[in-house]
Amino acid sequence: MHNFEPTTAAAWARLAAVQPDTYARTRNAIEGAVTRLSPYISHGLLGLRDIYDYLNARHPLDAKHKLVFELGWRAYYHHVGAHIGDGLHQSLHTGVLPDDAYQTEMPTDVLEARTGVAAIDMAVRELYSFGYLHNHARMWLASYVVHLRKVHWHAGAQWMLGHLLDGDVASNHLSWQWVAGTGSVKPYVFNADNVAKYAPAPWHSPATVIDTSYDALDRLARSVTAVDHRMDGRFAGGGMAQPPLMHAPPDARWLAPDAALAAGRDVCLLHPWSLGAFSQPVNTDALFIGVGFSEMHRQAPWSARRWNFVTEGLLARTPTLWWGGLEAIAQALQGARSVGWQPQAPANAVLDNLRAQLASGDPHPRVSATTERALFTPVEPYCESFAKWWRLTKLAL
Ligand SMILES: Cc1cc2nc3c(=O)[nH]c(=O)nc-3n(C[C@H](O)[C@H](O)[C@H](O)COP(=O)(O)OP(=O)(O)OC[C@H]3O[C@@H](n4cnc5c(N)ncnc54)[C@H](O)[C@@H]3O)c2cc1C
């Protein structure tokens, strides 16, 4: 169904298949013509500007096109992330209930896709099977988890983040907050009619807790009591095994930093968010090293599927992979002639620290880190709403 091969060629092939006008008409439907570009965007195989330039050259896209607008949401979430940093992990404002009204563990029946609400069980299965979920299904899943099961949005966001191949803290955590009502003016709720309108039959959820009116669901969202999910009666059956959460990549594929390898060389670092970087290397003798910093993953483990995507993507570029702590990697790079990476990963304090550590050595390598070619002009005042940011930005063409 949705297979994502972590290579630049696969990313561009998928881009070539995008039909902007069909997208605009059908994007809300689970089986609509969405682009499925997100894993390639999050892992640096395609930038927003690449997407726009390619599509605009074939089907002129004005700034109001639905697809440009959706790319704008990603850019906006990164605008927020750049301003609030670790604040992404806190509620932006109080929601319908105080933070401590929610539990901090994901319920087992949700994790195992056996809530009895078909829309939720299908969404969890798709998430585990493909590492991808349609936007509407993400909204339904987040809404059910937060408003009906009373799980804090952050617990749900961390769980989903680890399973999505496109997992991106800014887009993920701010979307969960939008659903929860801590980043929007009201809680997002959905009902069985909405599912029936946008999803195929196996997702339909008649006679379940969501088969009610929006007013009733809004009241449930504002109540401190979680729904008794056993009210849903029959279970979907079969069940999912507990997902294979891995706290580190497959050891056998990863080598320890080796300073001798980098000594005197121009090093091009490829990190998990820049799988497509250096399509034109700085020189023919440059050494490509794929790096994974354990600091980046301590708080938010990834599923085996996501690790495979990233590891395969790095291996497609170089056989040399280093996995470890920032300090060990910085030390092993100290003797290089130059170290470069592109682009700077979103809100990535670890790469900023790497730059500082490399600069503090004596002698130290020349360091160059580039930023992505922007699609939208930067907006300086911090905008608390997408609407405000959208009014102030323009296409940076
Ligand atoms: C609870 C929840 C969690 C989410 N977590 C993530 C995440 O971790 N990473 C992520 O990239 N997106 C996330 N999104 C946003 C959105 O669901 C995905 O970007 C989109 O579904 C990806 O599929 P696509 O590439 O087929 O999207 P398309 O609809 O084809 O859109 C094209 C591109 O536009 C951007 N985009 C579209 N819709 C949104 C949106 N609502 N918010 C931000 N960017 C958008 C994405 O970069 C996407 O790849 C989340 C949304 C929700 C409701």
Domain ranges of the chain: 8-89, 99-232, 246-369
- d(Cα 161, Cα 42) in Å, to the nearest integer? 12
Contact by Cβ (8 Å): 45, 8: yes
DSSP 8-state symbol, 264: T
pLDDT, mean of residues 305-314: 87
Q: Please, which contacts does 210-218 make with residues 24 or more away whose CB atoms are closer than 8 Å?
A: 210/117, 210/119, 210/144, 210/148, 214/189, 217/147, 217/148, 217/189, 217/190, 217/191, 218/186, 218/187, 218/189
Mutate to test the pocket of ligand 1, among 3, 31, 171, 302 (most ligand atoms within 8 A of CB): 171
Of all protein residues, the one whose alpha carbon is nearest to atom 37 of ligand 1 is 70
Q: Which atom of ligand 1 is nearest the CA belonging to 71?
A: 34
Q: 293 vs 183, which has greater pLDDT?
A: 183
Q: Does the 246-369 domain belong in CATH 3.40.50.620? A: yes
Of all protein residues, the one whose alpha carbon is nearest to atom 20 of ligand 1 is 135
In this model, does residue 48 exceed pLDDT 70?
Answer: yes
Among 3-12, 136-145, 286-295, the minimum mean pLDDT is found in: 286-295
Helix ranges, 117-266 (H): 118-130, 135-143, 153-163, 169-180, 192-198, 214-222, 259-262
- d(Cα 211, Cα 205) in Å, to the nearest integer? 7
Among 28-32, 189-193, 212-216, 278-282, the minimum mean pLDDT is found in: 278-282
- Looking at residue 246, what is its pLDDT? 42
The residues, ordered by sequence, that sit 6+ positions from 347 with a Cβ below 8 Å of its Cβ are: 78, 81, 82, 85, 88, 169, 170
> How large a percentage of the chain has pLDDT more than 70?
92
Which residue type sits at 98? P
Give the position of tokens 């690449």.
50
Answering whether pTM is above 0.75, one says yes
Residue in 259, 309, 267 with CA at minimum distance from that of residue 290? 267
Which residue type sits at 363? P
- d(Cα 117, Cα 110) in Å, to the nearest integer? 10
Of all protein residues, the one whose alpha carbon is nearest to atom 50 of ligand 1 is 172
Q: Ligand 1: does its nearest atom lie under 6 Å from the Cβ of 171?
A: yes
DSSP 8-state symbol, 368: E
- d(Cα 316, Cα 276) in Å, to the nearest integer? 10
User: How many A from CA of 37 to the centre of ligand 1?
Assistant: 9
Q: If DSSP states are collapsed to H, E and C, what string results for 26-43?
A: HCCCCCCCCCCCHHHHHC
Q: 347 vs 84, which has greater pLDDT?
A: 84
pLDDT, mean of residues 358-363: 88
Top-ranked range on mean pLDDT: pick from 302-306, 347-351, 372-376: 372-376
DSSP 8-state symbol, 2: -
- Looking at residue 234, what is its pLDDT? 43
Within 10 angstroms of residue 118's Cβ, the number of other Cβ atoms is: 21
Two tokens at 38?
Answer: 């997100």
Give the position of tokens 């009591």.
225
Mutate to test the pocket of ligand 1, among 30, 52, 175, 306 (most ligand atoms within 8 A of CB): 175
User: How many A from CA of 367 to the centre of ligand 1?
Assistant: 32
Q: Does the 8-89 domain belong in CATH 3.30.390.50? A: no
Q: Ligand 1: does its nearest atom lie under 6 Å from the Cβ of 109?
A: no
E-strand spans in the chain?
245-246, 266-270, 287-293, 302-303, 321-324, 338-341, 366-369
Distance in Å from the first CA to the final CA of the chain? 35
Output b/e per residue, 374-389; b: 16+ Cβ within 10 A.
ebbeebeeebeebeeb
User: How many A from CA of 174 to the centre of ligand 1?
Assistant: 11
Residue in 275, 267, 234, 391 with CA at minimum distance from that of residue 337? 267
CATH class of 99-232: mainly alpha
User: How many A from CA of 171 to the centre of ligand 1?
Assistant: 7
Q: Ligand 1: does its nearest atom lie under 6 Å from the Cβ of 73?
A: yes
